[in-house]
Structure 1
Amino acid sequence: MPSSLSAPAPVPPAGPARWLLVSNGLDAAGRSATGIVVDVVAVVVLGAGALQMGVLGMLGTLGFLVFGIPVGVLVDRHLSPRLLVAAGLVKGGLLGSVLVALVLDALTFWHLAAAAGLVGVAGVVTETAQLALVPRTVASGAVPRQIARLESADSALGVIAPAGAGLLVSAAGAGPALAVAVACVAAAALAALRVRMGAPIPDADADDDDPPPPTPGAAWRELFTEAGQGWRAVRRTPVLWWLSLGSMAANTGMSAFAAIEPLFVLDTLGLSPLFLGVVAGAGSAAALAGSLLVTPLTVRVGEGTAVLAAQAALVVSVALHVVAFADQARAAAWLLAGGVLWGVAIVVNNVSQQSLAARISAPAVLGRVMAFRRTLTMGVVPGAMLAGGALGAVAGPGAVLAAWLGLAVVGAVLAAVAVRRRPAAEDSEATQV
C-alpha cells in the first residue's frame, strides 16, 4: 500500500456530501429505536430469559465476525452510495416483517432473532460504507472533522429515538415504535440516493492491464489477497493494533452486560420500558455534546490524551452501573449518571480512534482497514453476549457487572500501551501494508 498519493482525488460540492450525514443520522435513529423495541418485545411480549437474550444479542452482532472482512473487500471494490441504499432497503424489509408478525400476534422468538441477525449483517455493510465514503465526499484535510460530524448526526437523532421509542412502547405498544424505526431506516436509504462521490482513488497495487480472474479459485485467491492488505495495515501499525486489542477487551465486557441489560433494568431493578429509553436518550444527548467537543479537545491535547481520558471515563461509567446494582434504592440516578458519562466518553474514544485510522490509512484500502478493525473489535461481541446471558442466568447480574468492570480496566490499560507505543511519524504517514 502506498504511503501517500500524488494528488488528492476531486471531491463533490459540500451540499451533496451533507446527505451522507443525513443518511447516517437517520440510520442511527432507526438503529437506536430498533434496539429498544426489540429488547422490550423479547422480554415483555415473548418472555425471553437471560440465555435467550444472549442468543438474540449474539445473532444480532454475528455479522461483524462472519462478514466483516468480505464486506471490507466489497466496499473497497465497489464503493458507492448504492451500497447504503441496498442495505437500508434490506433492513427495512426485515424489520417490516417483524412489525407485520407483531401486529398479527404471530411473532416468535426465532423470527425476531433471525431478523435481528440479518439486520446486523446489513448493518455491517452500512457502517463500513459510511466510513469509507468519507474521504470520497470531502477534501482530505476535512476527513477527521467529517467523521466527528457523522458521530454528531448519530447522536442528534439518537437523542430523540430511544426515549421516543420507550415512550411509544409504554403508551401505544411496540408496534408504533417499530413502525417509526422502519420509517427511519427507509428514509436513510432515500437520503443515500443524494450522496455524490469524487473521482475514484487510484490503487497502486492494482494493474489495469491484468485480465479479470479466469476461475472461481482465482477470484477467491484475489479476495484473500486484498483482505490481507487490510490485516497487514492494522497489524504493522502498533497504535491501531493495540487500540484494537483494547477495544476487544472493553467490547467483551460491554457486550456481556448488554445481553442482560433489559432484564437488569426491567426485572432486577423494577424500572419501566420508558426509563430504558430515557437512559438511552440521555446517553445519546451526552454523545451529541461529546461529538461537538471531541475535535477541539483532540486539537488541544492530542488524540492520544483524548483516548486515555475517554478510557478512564468509561471505567468510571461502568463503576456507576455496579453502584446502581449495590444501591438499588437510588439505581435510577446512578444509571442516568453512568449513561451520560458513557455517552460522552464513547464518542470521544470512537472519534479519536476512527479519525486516527482514517488519517494514517491510505484511502484505497480504508474500507479493509476499517473492516479488519471492526472484525477484531466487534467479532468478540456475539460470543460475549451469549456468555453474558449464560453467566446472568447462572450467577445473576452482579457477576456480569463485575466481569464488565474488570474488562473495562483491561481495555484502558491496553489503550495506554497503544498511546505509549505510537511513533510520532504515525501522525503524518499512512500505514504500510
Structure 2
Amino acid sequence: MMTPLPAPSAPSKTSIFKNRNFRKVFAAGAVSTLGTQLSALAIPLTAVGALNATPGQIGLLGALSMISFLLFGLPAGVLVDRASRRRIMIAADFGRVLVLASIPVASLLGALTLPQLYVVAFVTGTLTLLFTVASQSFLPSIVPPERLAEANANLASFREGNAIAGPVLAGLLIQLVTAPLVILLDVLSYLWSGVVIFSIRRVPEPVAAKQSMARSILDGVRYVFAHELLRPIAAAGALSNLAALVTLTMMPIYYERVLGLPTGMLGLFMGGGGVGLLLGAYTGRWLARWIGEGRVLWVFGMAIVPFAFLVPGAAPGAWQWIATGAWLVVCYQSGMTNVLLISFRQRITPGEMLGRMNAVMRFTLTGASALGAALGGAIGEFAGVRSALYVGVAVTGLVWIPYFFSPMRHLRRLP
C-alpha cells in the first residue's frame, strides 16, 4: 500500500544550499548540463561537417538519442522504484563517460563513422533516461516537500543558464577546434558529476512493493493518465517536445547549408533559447502567481503562437536576430512550465510511485521528442528544411489546448 507524502509545512527561511546533499546534486548538475549542451551541438555538427550527413541522417541521429525513452522508459521507472536511485545516477554518469569518449578517440584515429555516432546516440540516450528518471525521483529523498519548488527552481535556473552559455561556447569552440574534440568537455563533465554524486552519503529511499514488471508498469501508466491534472500535463508536454525537436533537429542544417551562416551564429540562436528558458525559470512563478498557476499555462501558450511563426524566417541580417528573439519567447514558456510542473508532479505523487510517474512522463515527453526529430528529418529530406521548420511551429500553436480543456483552465493555485 502506498503512503502519501507528508503535508507541506511552512517554508523555511534558510537557504536551500544549507542542505549538503542538495548542494552536491546542484554542483554535479551545474557542470554536467553545460557539457550536455556542448555535445547537443557538437554531435550533429560532427555528422554534418566531418561525415557530410543528410537531413534524414541527422533526423535519425536525433531520434536514436531519444528512442530509448520509448523502448525502455516504462521498465526504467520500475527499476528506479525498486533500486537505489543514487547508484543508478552514478552508473549512468560513468557509462556516459566511456561511450562519449569513443567519438574523439575515433576521430583522432581517422575511424569515425555515422554508424558509430548512431550507436553512441542510442547508448547515451539510454543512460540519460536512467539518470533523468532517477534524479527527479531522488530529489524528494533529500529535500522536504515544501522546498521542492525552490530546489527545482535553482536546478532549473542553472540548467537554463547552461542552455545559454553552452551553445554559444560550443559554437566558438567548434570554430577553434573540431567538433569531436569539443565532446571531450562533456566527457569530463559526466566524470565530475559521477564523482560528486558518489560522495553523497546514503539516504533512506522509498522502495515499491515487489510485483510483476507488467503490473508495476500498468500501475504507473494508470496513475498518470487517470489523473485529471497529470493527463493534460503529459499531453501538452508531448506536443511541446515534438515541436521543439522538429525545429532543433533542422536548425544546424538550416544555418550551415541553407543560410550559409557561421557556426557561431547558430550558437547564438540556441543561446537565445537558453535565455528564454532561464527567464522562464526565474520569473515563471511570479507570472503564475499574477495570472494563476493553472491559467498561465494556456494563456501564455496562446500568446507565444505569433512569435513561433517568426522562427523559420531567420536569414542573414536583421531577420536572424528577430528569429532568435522569437525563439527566446517560445522557450520562455518551457522554462516557466518546467519549474511549475516538475515540482507539482513531485508533490502530489507518493514516494514509492515517483520513479514510475517520472518514467511515464519521460516516456511520453521524450518519445514525442524522438518522433519530432525523425519527423523533422523526414520532412526536411523530402519537402525541404524550411518546410520542416514551419511544421514545428504549427505544432507549437497547439500546446495550450490540453490545458484549456482541463480542470487547470481556471486554477489560481495548483493543489
Give the structure-2-normalised TM-score.
0.91
Asked if 2 retains the 8 angstrom alpha-carbon contact of 1:42 and 1:48, the reply is: yes
* Equivalent residue number for residue 40 of structure 1: 45
* Equivalent residue number for residue 333 of structure 2: 345
Asked if 1 retains the 8 angstrom alpha-carbon contact of 2:22 and 2:143, the reply is: yes
* Equivalent residue number for residue 320 of structure 2: 332
Asked if 1 retains the 8 angstrom alpha-carbon contact of 2:298 and 2:409, the reply is: no
* Equivalent residue number for residue 431 of structure 1: none
Asked if 2 retains the 8 angstrom alpha-carbon contact of 1:230 and 1:372, the reply is: yes
Task: Please give the residue correspondences for 1:202-241 in structure 2 after superposition, counting only pairs within 5 Å.
Answer: 206=209, 222-241=212-231
Q: Distance in 1 between matches of 2:4 and 2:240?
A: 33
Task: Please give the residue correspondences for 1:351-366 in structure 2 after superposition, counting only pairs within 5 Å.
Answer: 351-366=339-354
Q: Distance in 2 between matches of 1:354 and 1:265?
A: 33
Q: Distance in 2 between matches of 1:116 and 1:291?
A: 28
CA shift at 1:28, angstroms? 1.3
1:187 and 2:187 matched: no
Asked if 1 retains the 8 angstrom alpha-carbon contact of 2:5 and 2:349, the reply is: no
Match of 1:148 among 147, 153, 176: 153
Determine helix, strand or coil for the equivalent of 2:294. Answer: helix
* Equivalent residue number for residue 12 of structure 2: none
1:132 and 2:132 matched: no
Matched letter for residue 166 of structure 1: G
User: What 5-or-longer segments of structure 2 have no aligned partner?
Assistant: 9-15
Q: Distance in 2 between matches of 1:383 and 1:6?
A: 38
CA shift at 1:43, angstroms? 0.7
Moved more, 144-153 or 65-74: 144-153
Asked if 2 retains the 8 angstrom alpha-carbon contact of 1:250 and 1:407, the reply is: yes
* Equivalent residue number for residue 24 of structure 1: 29
Decide whether aligned partners of structure 1 residues 5 and 36 sit closer, same or farther in structure 2, where only a CA change above 3 A counts.
closer
Asked if 2 retains the 8 angstrom alpha-carbon contact of 1:260 and 1:392, the reply is: yes
Matched letter for residue 360 of structure 2: F
Matched letter for residue 297 of structure 1: L
Decide whether aligned partners of structure 1 residues 314 and 133 sit closer, same or farther in structure 2, where only a CA change above 3 A counts.
farther
Q: Distance in 2 between matches of 1:202 and 1:275?
A: 48
Q: Distance in 1 between matches of 2:207 and 2:53?
A: 50
Match of 1:285 among 275, 282, 285: 275
* Equivalent residue number for residue 4 of structure 2: 4
Q: Distance in 2 between matches of 1:351 and 1:126?
A: 19
RMSD of aligned Cα (Å): 2.6
Q: Distance in 1 between matches of 2:199 and 2:168?
A: 29
* Equivalent residue number for residue 63 of structure 2: 58
Q: Distance in 1 between matches of 2:371 and 2:383?
A: 18
Count of residue correspondences: 409
Q: Distance in 1 between matches of 2:55 and 2:213?
A: 39
Decide whether aligned partners of structure 1 residues 269 and 62 sit closer, same or farther in structure 2, where only a CA change above 3 A counts.
same
User: What 5-or-longer segments of structure 1 have no aligned partner?
Assistant: 207-211, 213-220, 429-433
* Equivalent residue number for residue 398 of structure 1: 386
1:256 and 2:261 matched: no
CA shift at 1:6, angstroms? 6.2
Q: Distance in 2 between matches of 1:395 and 1:358?
A: 42
Moved more, 123-132 or 396-405: 396-405
CA shift at 1:395, angstroms? 0.9
* Equivalent residue number for residue 162 of structure 1: 167
Asked if 1 retains the 8 angstrom alpha-carbon contact of 2:241 and 2:369, the reply is: yes
Query: In the TM superposition, what whole-angstrom CA distance separates every residue of 1:256-288 from its partner, at most 9, and x where no partner exists?
Result: 233222111111111111112222223223322
* Equivalent residue number for residue 82 of structure 2: 77
Q: Distance in 2 between matches of 1:170 and 1:202?
A: 48
Matched letter for residue 294 of structure 2: G
* Equivalent residue number for residue 217 of structure 1: none
Match of 2:96 among 63, 88, 91: 91
* Equivalent residue number for residue 125 of structure 2: 120
Give the structure-1-normalised TM-score.
0.87
CA shift at 1:191, angstroms? 1.7
Decide whether aligned partners of structure 1 residues 180 and 313 sit closer, same or farther in structure 2, where only a CA change above 3 A counts.
farther
CA shift at 1:197, angstroms? 5.5
* Equivalent residue number for residue 101 of structure 1: 106
Q: Distance in 1 between matches of 2:180 and 2:386?
A: 33
Matched letter for residue 383 of structure 1: L
